[in-house]
Amino acid sequence: MTETQAYPARDAGQRKLAINGLRARKPLDESAVDRFLARHEVPIVEGARCTFLFRGQADEVHVLHRIVNQPQRVPMRRVGETSLWYAVLELPEGSRVEYQLEVRRGSDVSSGNDPLNPRVAHSPVGSSSVCHASGYVVPDWVLPDEDARPGTLTEIAVPSRALRREMRAQVYLPARFRRTRSYPLLVVHDGSDYLQYASMKTVLDNLIHRLDVAETVVVFTDPGARETEYPNHAGHARFVVSELLPHLAADLPLLDRPSARCLMGASFGGVAALSVAYRNPSVFGSLLLQSGSFVFTDIGFDHGGGEVFDPVVSFMNRYRARPRLVADRIFQSCGVYEPLIVPNRSMVPVFESAGMEVRYVEARDGHSWENWRDRLRDGLSWIYPGPQKYYYE
């Protein structure tokens, strides 16, 4: 099943943009800019059009974003002789876009977050300003809910002969965890990033409290050398299946069947989840893959992604040539503004051709942790539905 957001028709009879009202003002001076900025949040969202602003002395200012197939360095124009600059971008309903501003003063060029916009998203490589276009709302289930009983996170150490080091992970137990019951297991790649940048503990607490997701034991793992261990690495697969799973089963009451085991990951972590299941096709019943780096080539091997993608492309080309069932069900999501949208769309029929049930979801978002955070309810409640989901579906 594939789910996409419908694109609405362009607004007819669009009213005058606020920035154009300011440009027509007389006198147009810094006092007028002060009053204008005091009245508006930045970016200014008016239907499908979003006005980005910068105030300060500059020779050039650009909006930098990463929406695929769009100019990603958009010049801003100065408002009269004032210190205010602006650019208007059209963003479809429900879009969430991360961006920065590039400012040139003489030969000095710098880029950074928008000083007029307090919304910031974080990731392991830094932060970006965020534009919430018309219709985008932060889901309430990603925010702390005082009525939701919190689960616990406990750090564990797992000696690994496969990876020749001690692996550390964090184990989430739901608030009502009892050793007299048995639970499904979710193994998360890039676990610390999911906890820090996608609020995943809060999401689990809330979704389990609201009965959208079954009570689940979740183990958050982290890589050592991510670019080596995640794209189809034999040692990583042996660690997950032959060391981590037995370690958890010896200590926790886990359901002992493939349908109660799920592997999850985003980007390279999605490749890791798929390749671990590929090497162990009878172990996991489900995969939750977000913006997987499923880069492949149809002719030759020139993929343009650099050496780090060589093992990914080798694996994906081999899998696409001979697709096989690696799990019963796959939840797959991707942002339509990502460069990976085409590879992800292309994998849906490939997975289905191998006999797997696929639920595929797209959103008007980019390759970001908040995109993956916002898709967690759809994915988790489909993989391990709580009683509420069973009732309504």
- The rounded average pLDDT for each run of 10 residues, N- to C-terminus, in the chain (393 residues) is 50 76 96 98 98 98 96 97 98 98 98 98 97 98 98 98 96 98 98 98 98 98 93 96 98 98 98 98 97 95 90 97 98 98 98 98 98 98 88 52
- Which residues of the chain form CATH 2.60.40.10? 18-132
Angle, in degrees to the nearest 10, between helices 376-383 and 200-209: 50
Q: How high is the pLDDT of residue 111? A: 98
Q: What is the CATH number of domain 18-132?
A: 2.60.40.10
CATH 3.40.50.1820 in the chain, residue ranges: 140-390
Helix (H, G, I), strand (E, B) or coil at 234: helix
Whole-angstrom Cα distance, residue 146 to residue 367? 30
Q: Is 266 left (phi over 0), alpha (psi -120 to 50) or beta?
A: beta
Sequence-distant (≥ 6) Cβ neighbours of residue 352 within 8 angstroms: 358
**Given CA atoms 55, 56, 61, 66 in this order, what sign does their dihedral have?**
negative
pLDDT at 392: 52
- Rounded CA-CA distance 55/57 in Å is 7
Tell me which CATH code domain 140-390 carries: 3.40.50.1820
The pLDDT value recorded for residue 1 is 53
The C-alpha atoms of residue 148 and residue 339 are separated, in whole angstroms, by 37
The confidence score (pLDDT) of residue 389 equals 65
**Chain position carrying tokens 């979704």:** 207
Q: Is 338 helix (H, G, I), strand (E, B) or coil?
A: coil
How far is it, in rounded angstroms, from Cα 43 to Cα 85? 12
- Position of tokens 């995943």? 200
What's the pLDDT at 15?
Answer: 78
